[in-house]
Amino acid sequence: MTVYDKVRIGSITKVIVTTVVPQLVAEGRVELDAPVRRVLPGLLPAGFAAVTVAHLLNHTSGLPDHVGIPELQTAEDVFRHRFDHWTPLEWVATATHGPLKFAPGTRQEYCGISYVLGRTDRR
Protein backbone atom coordinates (compact mmCIF):
# COMPACT_ATOMS: atom_id res chain seq x y z
CA MET A 1 0.00 0.00 0.00
CA THR A 2 1.01 3.57 -0.55
CA VAL A 3 -0.05 6.85 1.05
CA TYR A 4 -2.31 7.38 -1.98
CA ASP A 5 -4.30 4.17 -1.53
CA LYS A 6 -7.79 4.44 -0.12
CA VAL A 7 -9.34 1.91 2.20
CA ARG A 8 -12.81 1.73 3.65
CA ILE A 9 -12.90 1.90 7.41
CA GLY A 10 -15.88 0.21 8.97
CA SER A 11 -17.30 -0.16 12.44
CA ILE A 12 -15.90 3.11 13.80
CA THR A 13 -19.32 3.85 15.31
CA LYS A 14 -18.99 0.86 17.64
CA VAL A 15 -15.93 2.33 19.36
CA ILE A 16 -17.60 5.70 19.81
CA VAL A 17 -20.91 4.33 21.10
CA THR A 18 -19.27 1.94 23.55
CA THR A 19 -17.17 4.81 24.87
CA VAL A 20 -19.80 7.54 25.06
CA VAL A 21 -22.80 5.62 26.42
CA PRO A 22 -21.01 4.52 29.64
CA GLN A 23 -19.86 8.13 30.08
CA LEU A 24 -23.49 9.28 29.76
CA VAL A 25 -24.50 6.65 32.31
CA ALA A 26 -21.80 7.87 34.72
CA GLU A 27 -23.08 11.44 34.28
CA GLY A 28 -26.64 10.32 35.05
CA ARG A 29 -27.86 11.32 31.59
CA VAL A 30 -28.74 7.78 30.46
CA GLU A 31 -29.90 4.79 32.50
CA LEU A 32 -28.86 1.31 31.42
CA ASP A 33 -32.25 -0.13 32.39
CA ALA A 34 -34.15 2.61 30.52
CA PRO A 35 -36.33 1.37 27.67
CA VAL A 36 -34.92 2.40 24.30
CA ARG A 37 -38.38 3.71 23.37
CA ARG A 38 -38.07 6.25 26.20
CA VAL A 39 -34.49 7.29 25.35
CA LEU A 40 -35.11 7.40 21.58
CA PRO A 41 -38.86 7.95 21.22
CA GLY A 42 -40.52 6.90 17.98
CA LEU A 43 -37.68 4.71 16.64
CA LEU A 44 -38.76 1.28 17.81
CA PRO A 45 -42.26 -0.16 17.40
CA ALA A 46 -44.45 -0.90 20.42
CA GLY A 47 -43.59 -4.61 20.23
CA PHE A 48 -40.00 -3.70 21.11
CA ALA A 49 -40.94 -1.92 24.37
CA ALA A 50 -38.95 -4.33 26.58
CA VAL A 51 -35.62 -3.51 24.88
CA THR A 52 -33.37 -1.46 27.18
CA VAL A 53 -30.13 0.45 26.64
CA ALA A 54 -28.25 -2.37 28.39
CA HIS A 55 -29.77 -4.92 26.00
CA LEU A 56 -28.35 -2.95 23.07
CA LEU A 57 -24.90 -2.73 24.61
CA ASN A 58 -24.61 -6.39 25.60
CA HIS A 59 -26.32 -7.78 22.47
CA THR A 60 -29.26 -9.31 24.29
CA SER A 61 -31.96 -7.13 22.68
CA GLY A 62 -33.46 -9.73 20.36
CA LEU A 63 -33.69 -7.18 17.56
CA PRO A 64 -34.30 -8.86 14.19
CA ASP A 65 -31.70 -8.96 11.47
CA HIS A 66 -31.81 -6.13 8.98
CA VAL A 67 -33.30 -6.73 5.56
CA GLY A 68 -32.84 -4.74 2.39
CA ILE A 69 -29.23 -3.69 2.88
CA PRO A 70 -26.71 -5.71 0.87
CA GLU A 71 -24.63 -8.25 2.75
CA LEU A 72 -20.93 -7.54 2.32
CA GLN A 73 -19.33 -10.95 2.55
CA THR A 74 -16.74 -10.81 -0.22
CA ALA A 75 -14.27 -8.27 -1.55
CA GLU A 76 -16.43 -8.03 -4.66
CA ASP A 77 -19.49 -7.19 -2.53
CA VAL A 78 -17.59 -4.43 -0.76
CA PHE A 79 -16.34 -3.02 -4.07
CA ARG A 80 -19.79 -3.15 -5.68
CA HIS A 81 -21.43 -1.30 -2.77
CA ARG A 82 -18.55 0.96 -1.74
CA PHE A 83 -20.48 4.16 -2.46
CA ASP A 84 -23.79 3.10 -0.94
CA HIS A 85 -25.01 5.40 1.80
CA TRP A 86 -27.57 4.56 4.46
CA THR A 87 -28.70 6.99 7.13
CA PRO A 88 -29.07 5.71 10.69
CA LEU A 89 -32.86 5.99 10.39
CA GLU A 90 -32.81 3.89 7.21
CA TRP A 91 -30.72 1.23 8.99
CA VAL A 92 -33.11 1.14 11.94
CA ALA A 93 -36.10 0.80 9.62
CA THR A 94 -34.57 -2.34 8.09
CA ALA A 95 -34.43 -4.07 11.49
CA THR A 96 -37.84 -3.15 12.88
CA HIS A 97 -39.90 -4.95 10.25
CA GLY A 98 -41.02 -7.93 12.28
CA PRO A 99 -41.11 -9.35 15.78
CA LEU A 100 -38.14 -9.63 18.08
CA LYS A 101 -36.04 -12.74 17.48
CA PHE A 102 -36.17 -13.59 21.18
CA ALA A 103 -37.26 -11.98 24.44
CA PRO A 104 -34.77 -9.28 25.48
CA GLY A 105 -32.26 -10.53 28.02
CA THR A 106 -32.83 -14.24 27.34
CA ARG A 107 -30.04 -14.79 24.80
CA GLN A 108 -26.95 -13.05 23.54
CA GLU A 109 -26.47 -12.58 19.80
CA TYR A 110 -24.36 -9.97 18.05
CA CYS A 111 -26.52 -7.28 16.50
CA GLY A 112 -24.79 -4.44 14.67
CA ILE A 113 -28.02 -2.43 14.51
CA SER A 114 -27.62 -1.84 18.26
CA TYR A 115 -24.74 0.52 17.56
CA VAL A 116 -26.71 2.30 14.86
CA LEU A 117 -29.50 2.98 17.35
CA GLY A 118 -26.89 4.49 19.64
CA ARG A 119 -26.12 7.18 17.08
CA THR A 120 -29.58 7.79 15.63
CA ASP A 121 -31.03 11.23 15.92
CA ARG A 122 -34.09 12.86 14.39
CA ARG A 123 -32.22 14.84 11.71
What span, in angstroms and rounded, lies between the C-alpha atoms of 63 and 111?
7
56-101 confidence digits (pLDDT tens): 999 999 999 888 777 777 888 888 888 888 888 888 888 888 899 9
The SS3 assignment for 36 reads helix
Phi, psi angles (nearest 5°) of residue 39: -75, -40
As to burial, measured by CB atoms within 10 angstroms (0-12 exposed, 13-18 middle, 19+ buried), residue 75 is exposed
For 117, other C-beta atoms within 10 Å of its C-beta total 24
Beta bridge partners of 35: 52
Q: Over pLDDT 90: what percentage of the chain?
A: 37
pTM exceeds 0.85: no
